[in-house]
Structure 1
Amino acid sequence: MKLKSIRLRLLVLMICITTIPIITVTWIATNNTRDSVEEEIIKANNSRMEWADQYLNKLIEDIDGLFYSIHINQKLMDSISEVDNTDSRIQYEIYDYLRQTVNPIFYSNSTILKELTLYNHQSKKAFFVNYERTGTITDLNIEQDQSWNRLLKGPVNIYFERADQSKAVSVYHSINRFEDQELLGGISALINNDVWLELNKILKNGEEADLILMNDQQEILYNTENSNNPEVDKVLKDADLASANLEFLKSENYYFWLQGVDEGKLSLVKILPRRVVAYSIYPTIKAGIIIGIIFTIIALVFSVLISLRISRPILKLANTMSKTQIRDFEAKSVQSGGEIGILERDFNSLMKRIKTLIEEEYHREIELKKAQLKALQAQINPHFLNNTLQFIGGMALEKDIPEIYRITCVIADLLRYSISSRGNLVTLADELKHTENYIYIQEQRFSDRIQTNISAAESFDDLVIPRFTLQPIVENAFEYGLQPKVGAWNLEVHVKKVRSRIAIIVRDNGVGFTKSKLKEVRQKLKGNSWTKNDDKSSDSQVNDGGIGLKNVNNRLKLHFGNSYGIKIFSKKTRGSLIVLVLPGKKGD
């Protein structure tokens, strides 16, 4: 559904302008917060993995030092092979020596060791100490023990194996003869679980994080309960765990930190679900969303209020325009400012002008009806005068006075032409005939002073022009050009065809116009305004000679177009030349 109401469109626009930036800023801030928290978590865990690497390297270094101190004690290793001596005294001395030598070593490293075992390969005997026993000798067949049998494959400095106990890790060291690398024995230490708890503290593993510790053969030595996952297994399978460099990986649901320790003797892997980042930023996002919602609601309220404030004057104006009756219109007070106030003022002005024009047109129609009624009532007078003139002409013929008969006939023709009901358009030939009748009367009045010349190149029976086009021009020539002149008068009327147009030329040798008067008359001819005198008939002239010319000029332009009309030329005391330009044929 299209929003046609300006109020609805403005409301939607304001809501978009106010809410979209808030939503966009909230969304960007959320993403930036998530990225920032993720970056901080990655950096923090990188540091902790480096710390854990140092911790494990120190552990291996301490164990290696412990094993070396035992390794170089040849008497200690030889004593293990003599534990089966048949002499009970010697056997007791050997056992006591082992206890006094191994126990101090064990207890001095009790923070990292849970059990210490010395193995003699020749006798297949092992001596071990722990917190429960200060020294015990037992048989040990390393060929059947999976943890010990790597010693049979060759010299091994240190390697780690998972002990039988849950989450317990043992570390092994082989003792070989220098000359031929023959296996002489080995050392094993069960690492205290506190070591791995400390490692967890260093890495700050919570309930969500997982830790995996693997040996050089990628066998898991220590892991948390949640680390068994197909996605985790796939990443670990493809990763280079022996690398000494810290490596960070991402999967769909997890972050991985991988660190090789002491040239691959151990591999440390920390696994952190990606949802931890979401949990970390959840309070911030929640606060941002709440603030965004609050500001959005505020923006919506302000949008509604502003849109109503802006649209109310427009709707009020539209409602006024739709319900206003022109006859009952009264200007409303303008209370709005800006463009709306301008619209209201212009609407008031427009309605006033329309009301004024309607009233003027109404009064004009009334006046026209009155004039038509008066004309109808007065029609009897011209007919009566025409009949009277015919009666006078008849009497003149009876008395043998042809001049009077001729004059009465011409006057009757003039009167008949004026009251004819054939319409406002006549042929050029009829207009010329009417003008000749008018000039004939003037010749009879001023027979001793005036010389006239009327000529037409053709009959022009087909050219139709407005009635009273030429006669008012000739009348102006008599009234304002010739009568004020002392001496002989000369008046010429010529009709010529010039290319595709017809020119009617009226020339007199009257008093003419001054330059300023000529300019004024020409300006009136160019203007389009009409005065009340313009509506009068063409034979009712004012004393400046400009209105009759303008009347004829306007009617010619109205009928034929702006390319046609009157051109006037005049000089003071030299007379005037009036040219009426008409089309040569209909449509030109």
Structure 2
Amino acid sequence: MHAREGLIIPGFPLFKNTIRNKLMLLLLAATIVPIASSMVISYIATKNSITEEAVATNARLLSLGKTNILNYMNNINQKSLAVYNSMNVPRSLYYLLEHDMEDEVFPNDLSDVIRNRNLLKDHLYNIYQSIQEFAQVRLYVVKQNTTYLLRNDDLKVGQNEQRPTDFNSSGKTSIEPTHLSHYYGLDLKGSTQEPVFTLHRPIFRAPSDELLARLSIDVKLNVLADLNRQLYDEGEQFYIVDKSGSVILSSEAEVPVQEKVLEWFTKVARAEEDSGHIDYKGDGFAGIIFHDRVKTSYMDWYLVKLSPYTHLYERAGGIARINAFIGIGALAIAVLATLYVSLRITKPLLRLIGYVNKIETGQLNTAIDIHSNDEIGVLARRFRSMMQTINNLILKEYRLEIASKTNQLKALQAQVNPHFLYNAMQSIGTVALQHKDMQVYSLLTSLGKMMRYQMSTERAVVELAKEIDYVQAYLDLQKQRFDTALEVTLDIDPRTRPIVVPKMILQPIVENFFKHGFVPDGQEPAKLRVASSLEEGSLTIRIEDNGKGMSEEQLIQAMHQLTRGEAAAASDWNSPASEEGGIGLRNVLSRLQLHFHPKATLSLYPVTPHGLGVMLHIPLEEGAVSNV
């Protein structure tokens, strides 16, 4: 299988590299890519919009919840301050505490004890009834080490064998996190316990810091839960947590598992801002945590709302599913349209391929029956025209082949002429030697060298030494012609002789001197100098004469033609073309750049006082020196 036939997997013709399959892939890609991109972009934009909206909405909700909680807790705190009301009135609660309940533990008058206890019950009952969700009110009197607990309209009194566990707590008002209500050391059999949080307020003897008693109010969670129920939806979690990480309120259960809260609360507590949101992924939860802080002198709570990504982006998922259904529908339409278009376009192409296969077997006169007006019809008509042209060319080729055979015969006959000339010159040379005419023999030898060198086609490049010998033979003939009117100087660096150069690059330049620069009747002899040198890895050849030379304008024009690359640039000092059969300077430059280096140059320059110089500059590379 050739590579151009495409990938063919048995049983899967779709993988054939055909125009039909390419069209299908192109149309499918043109449909799928925009739809898929639109779905992805729409989903991302929707998610971002939902996230921004959720952040703003939850910030408002938590701020509202913060205000409600603050008002509610301030009300509870205010009720606990009732103990300080009417401080100097003998029947006030503070007065009773300040006077140690008239020594209720060891009374002298039982009626006073009962009267004081009932009065204490009335005060505690007023606090208990002030807010409906108060579960119980406890008053612990320090000096008596006695606990008074008002629960369900009943006052229970008892002495503690030891001080309560909360006695050594901070001297400030504080809130104990949610717990099951306890009995503060009293024996209350049959009583039920329920989740509450407790406000503990120490009562001091004014204006000293002597602790008289400790008032504790257990508060049910129902109102606190109702205040915050509007802050979260189903599927979300809501917590009120104090700064130590203890849970005050939870949307999951009345008393949640504390470890679940601690997993994410450390990040909330370390947040730089009191309110904000955090992206969180942990065990059992991945979503956004929204938080706000409620801080007063007696409490430091965090309102925390956990919104899972599945809940936040449920609407985005619905939009994505709608887009997916639309995309599937569009894809189905695109597939049907692709099949129709591909079959409509490629069926004539398949027929055309069938005709080509017949022609390939040699049936050149196959009729191509495709007459549509589209591009394929134009291609079929052009193909018919091309086949007619090919048939005509084949007939011409037969005629040309016959003519070629005739030309080959003539070429074989022409090959006899050079051998005949060599043999004739050798015979003439022998006669010259017999008559002791060394001059004629020398001239024949120079002419023979030139003919052998010029007619040899075995090598395109030769050593510079052979090129110099050829030029020497040419100049020997010219010196015989002009005698003393011509002086030739060869200044050849021995290091340059083995360097290979293109054949016939010096003789055309030397010949130009005799055609256009030589003045045979001049007052001084014509001088021609050929020199070579090797400098810094480059071969430089100079051919200088004292002929007519060129004007500055002609020199500039000739160099311009050389650099512009015209066909016969500067081959003649005064005309743009050489004589018929001559090799122009541009030809010399082209062969230098072709065989050696594209940076090889040929330049013209004036010679003082008159004349012209030609310089060949050839950068040498490895292998430029012959090993012969």
Q: TM-score range by the shorter chain?
A: 0.5 to 0.7
Task: Tell me the secondary structure at the aligned position of residue 180 of structure 2.
Answer: coil
1:319 corresponds in structure 2 to 354
In the other structure, the counterpart of 1:90 is 112
Shift of 1:142: 9.9
Structure 1 residue aligned with 2:289, among 228, 253, 256?
A: 256
The 1:278–1:71 alpha-carbon spacing in structure 2 relative to 1, beyond 3 Å, is same
Question: Which residue among 216, 223, 235 is the counterpart of 2:264?
Answer: 235
Tell me how far 1:346 sits from its aligned partner. Answer: 0.9
Closer/same/farther in 2, CA of residues 129 and 109 from structure 1, 3 Å limit? same
**Any idea what the Cα deviations from partners look like across 1:325-353, whole Å, max 9, x if unmatched?**
6554335342141x323212211222233
Q: Deviations over 1:55-75 (max 9, x none)?
A: 221122101211222323432
TM-score (norm 2): 0.52
* Residue correspondence of structure 1 range 462-477 to structure 2 within 5 A: none
Matched, 1:246 2:246: no
Specify the code of the residue in structure 2 equivalent to 1:329. T
- The 5 A counterparts of 1:100-111 are 100-110=122-132
**1:62-461 equivalent positions in 2, closer than 5 A:** 62-74=75-87, 75-79=92-96, 81-82=101-102, 85=107, 87-110=109-132, 112-130=133-151, 133-139=152-158, 141=160, 144-146=163-165, 148-151=166-169, 153-154=170-171, 156-165=172-181, 167-206=195-234, 208-225=235-252, 228=257, 233-240=262-269, 245-252=274-281, 253-263=286-296, 265-324=300-359, 326=363, 328-337=365-374, 339-355=375-391
Counterparts in 2 of 1:344 and 1:138: CA distance versus 1, 3 Å: same
Residue 423 (structure 1) shift: 6.1
In the TM superposition, what is the alpha-carbon distance from 1:228 to its structure 2 partner?
Answer: 4.5
Write out per-residue CA displacement over residues 191-237 of structure 1, whole angstroms, 9 at most, x where no aligned residue: 1221232144132253x433333335443333355865867524323
AA partner of residue 378 (structure 2): I
Contact 2:236 2:306 in 1 (8 A): yes
State the one-letter code of the partner of 1:287: I
Q: Deviations over 1:387-426 (max 9, x none)?
A: xxxxxxxxxxxxxxxxxxxxxxxxxxxxxxxxxxx86986
Q: 1:129 to 1:355 in 2, by over 3 A?
A: same
Is there any run of 5+ residues in structure 1 with no aligned partner, and where? 369-421, 431-461, 463-498, 501-562, 564-580
Q: Deviations over 1:131-186 (max 9, x none)?
A: xx22404126496433x3245x43x1343343334532111111112332010112
Conservation of the 8 A alpha-carbon contact between 1:160 and 1:215: no
Q: Which residue of 2 aligns with 1:398?
A: none
In structure 2, the CA distance between the partners of 1:361 and 1:73, relative to structure 1 (3 Å rule), is same
CA distance in 1, matches of 2:308, 2:161: 41
Q: Which residue of 1 aligns with 2:24?
A: 11
Aligned to 1:21: 34
**Kept in 1: contact 2:370–2:377 (CA 8 A):** no
CA distance in structure 1 between the partners assigned to 2:347 and 2:358 by the alignment? 16
Paired residue type of 1:163 = H
Secondary structure at 1:168 match in 2: strand
Go from structure 1 to structure 2 and tell me whether the alpha carbon gap of 1:160 and 1:78 turns closer, same or farther (over 3 Å shift).
same
Write the deviation string for residues 103-142 of structure 1: whole angstroms up to 9, x where unpaired.
34432311x4222333332333344434xx2240412649
Distance (whole Å) between structure 2 residues aligned to residue 216 and residue 23 of structure 1: 48
- 2:519 corresponds in structure 1 to none
C-alpha separation between the residues in 2 aligned to 1:115 and 1:229? 25
Q: What secondary structure does 2:195 align onto?
A: coil
- Structure 1 187/142 Cα, relative in aligned 2: closer, same or farther at 3 Å? farther
Distance 1:135 1:107 in 2: 12
What secondary structure does 2:269 align onto? coil
Structure 2 partner of 1:515: none
Residue 345 of structure 2 aligns with an amino acid whose one-letter code is I
| 1:60 correspondence with 2:73 | yes
- Cα RMSD after superposing both structures: 4.5
Match of 1:37 in 2: 50
1:5 Cα deviation (Å)?
1.8
- 1:238: Cα distance to partner? 4.7
Residue 243 of structure 1, CA deviation: 7.8
Instruction: Give unpaired runs (5+ residues) of structure 2.
Output: 1-5, 8-15, 182-193, 403-408, 418-451, 453-509, 512-567, 569-579, 584-628
Q: In structure 1, what is the Cα distance between the partners aligned to 2:61 and 2:330?
A: 41
Aligned residues between the structures: 387
SS of structure 2 residue aligned to 1:332: coil
- Secondary structure class of the residue paired with 2:201: strand
Q: Which range moves more in the overlay, 341-350 or 97-106?
A: 97-106
Letter in 1 for 2:288: Y
Q: Deviations over 1:472-527 (max 9, x none)?
A: xxxxxxxxxxxxxxxxxxxxxxxxxxx99xxxxxxxxxxxxxxxxxxxxxxxxxxx
Deviation at 1:92, TM superposition (A): 4.0
**Structure-1 separation of matches of 2:248 and 2:137:** 18
**Structure 1 residue 30: deviation in Å?**
1.9
The answer to whether the 8 A contact 2:27-2:338 is kept is yes
Pick closer, same or farther for the CA change 1:69–1:301 going to 2, 3 Å: same
Q: Distance in 1 between matches of 2:161 and 2:304?
A: 30
- Amino acid corresponding to residue 290 of structure 1 in structure 2: F
Which SS does the other structure have where 1:251 is aligned?
Answer: strand
Q: Is the 8 A contact 2:358 2:366 kept in 1?
A: no
Give the TM-score, by structure 1 length.
Answer: 0.55
Q: Which residue of 1 aligns with 2:541?
A: none
Match of 1:245, SS? coil
* Greater Cα radius of gyration, structure 1 or 2: 1
AA at the equivalent of 2:326: I
The Cα of 1:23 is off from its aligned counterpart by 1.4
CA 1:427 to 1:167, structure 2 compared with 1: closer, same or farther past 3 Å?
same
Given that 2:20 and 2:346 are in contact with CA atoms closer than 8 Å, whether structure 1 keeps it comes out as yes
Q: Which amino acid aligns with 1:354?
A: I
Distance 1:101 1:195 in 2: 24
3-state SS in 2 of match to 1:163: strand
